[in-house]
Amino acid sequence: MSVSSISRTTRQCPALRFNSTSIQCQKTTYDYEGSDISDLPVDLSVVWNGNFVIDNPFNIQ
């Protein structure tokens, strides 16, 4: 599952694992306020098996 935080709102989206290196998040709609999406900060993490967060690609082995 992917977990995103946009404008202090946290959302979860189911994701499918294709192989040992690829996942695909299902289509999701996000709402935000503002006129310029390029200025919108977004935090994103991937959660595996309910509680294992994968969010530091520099330490993934």
| Residue 49 DSSP SS3 | coil
Q: Which domain holds residue 6?
A: 2-29+42-55
CA-to-CA distance for 46 and 16, rounded, in angstroms?
A: 11
Work out how many domains the chain is built from and give that number. Answer: 1
Residue 22 lies in a domain: yes
* Both tokens assigned to 23: 């996942």
Does some domain include residue 25?
yes
In a domain, 34, yes or no: no
Q: How confident is the model at residue 4 (pLDDT cuts 50, 70, 90)?
A: low
- The pTM (predicted TM-score) of the whole model is 0.47
User: Which residues make Cβ contacts (< 8 Å) with residue 1, sequence separation at least 6?
Assistant: 12, 13, 14, 15, 46, 47
Residue 19 resides in a domain: yes
Domain assignment of residue 13, yes or no: yes
Answer yes or no: is 16 within a domain. yes
Q: Are 45 and 54 in contact (CB under 8 A)?
A: yes
* pLDDT tens sequence across 21-56: 788 888 877 766 666 666 667 777 777 767 666 655
Supply the pLDDT for residue 28.
Answer: 78
60 within domain boundaries:
no
Residue 20's pLDDT is 76
